[in-house]
Each structure stands twice: as C-alpha cells, then as structure tokens.
Amino acid sequence: MNLQNNYPIILASGSPRRKQLLEQIDLEFEVIPSSVHEDFTIDLSPTEFVEYYAKEKAKHVAQSHPDKWVIGADTVVVFDAEILGKPKDRDDSFQMLKRLSGNTHQVYTGVSIQHINLGLKKTFHAVTNVTFNTLNDNDIYYYIDTYKPFDKAGSYGIQDWFSVYVKKIDGCFYNVMGFPLALFYANFSALIPVEDKG
C-alpha cells in the first residue's frame, strides 16, 4: 500500500537516524524539527513520557502546517526505573555506559501522527529490551571520543561500532535506533482515509 497518499508529510525531528529509517520505507517527506525539549524532572512513567513528548513535538509543528501529516517521536533509555536521555558531556556519557554495562535496559520510543485539517491523530509507543556485554573503560572512552554519542539517548547507537557490545535484543531493532518502523506503518496505514489508499 502507498503510504504517501494525497497529503504531504513532515518529520518533526532532526534525527538523521529517523530520516534514514523513513527513507528506507520509500516515504517522501520534509524535515522540520520541533523546538520542544524534554524536561526530565517531569513526573511521568517512561511510557507516558515518550508519548507526551512525541505528541508535543508533532503538535508544535502541525499547528503551522494544518494541511500536512506530521510525525513526532521521542526516544529514551530506561535502566533501573530511571529515564536516561542524551548525555550532557563526556563524563555523563561515560557514567551512562558504565551503568548499562553487563545489564539489560529498555528503549522506549513514542510516536505521534497528527493531521489537523483531517482531525486525525494517533500516539503510540514501542519498548525493546537490550542487553549489553560487560564494557571495559578503555573501550567506553574510545567509543565516546570516536563516535561522540551526545545526540543519542543512553549515549550509544546500536547501528555503529557499539554493536560489538550488544549481547541480545528482545523487540524491534529499529525502535532502538529511534523509530519502530513496523508499528508506525501499521498505525499510519490505519489512519489514512480509505479513499486515499493506493
């Protein structure tokens, strides 16, 4: 089925990984990053957190583009009931990876699809369990200094060199990259008006 239909699409995210994933499924879209930023002091569960910020990001862009589909997304890493966002600096990055070493954590991604003029919107989330092998300090610093994972939740990218330390994944791989493709496709397909489905 053609997801493109008769309405233009906006990705309300500057993430190069989300852009790559949407291009992977032949979606045509423009990128207009939302200026909404997460407040990690907010008292929400991981599920509520990622869905709330996915909705806010999509809504922020959709208000200026009511005639277009807008896709917002938010990804966090959760370990020991604590939400981990993007690292603030090199030391924060090291501490995050040290905590995740040899353990299993969860990656949550919230996605919100909104079209104001059609009055259509849907927000959902995916969760993936990721288990790391034990990391040594030298490799952690090598990774941080070489790949500079400061724009990544949990301070790592599963698609780059860090993959050598990923022992096991339970759930959607693409969710760990920041966008659960299969779940998105199913939800977006269900939103599209019947007469527009190709």
Active-site positions? 74
Cα 126 from Cα 159, distance rounded (Å)? 18
Cα 103 from Cα 52, distance rounded (Å)? 27
CA dihedral over 23, 28, 31, 36, signed as positive or negative: negative
- Name the token pair of 22: 């949407």
Cα 174 from Cα 130, distance rounded (Å)? 12
Closest CA to 55 of 126, 114, 116, 112: 112
CA 101 to chain centre: 22
Running DSSP on this structure, what letter comes out for residue 192?
A: S
The three-state secondary structure class of 78 is strand
Are the beta carbons of 183 and 172 closer than 8 angstroms? yes
Cα 69 from Cα 62, distance rounded (Å)? 8
Are the beta carbons of 97 and 143 closer than 8 angstroms? yes
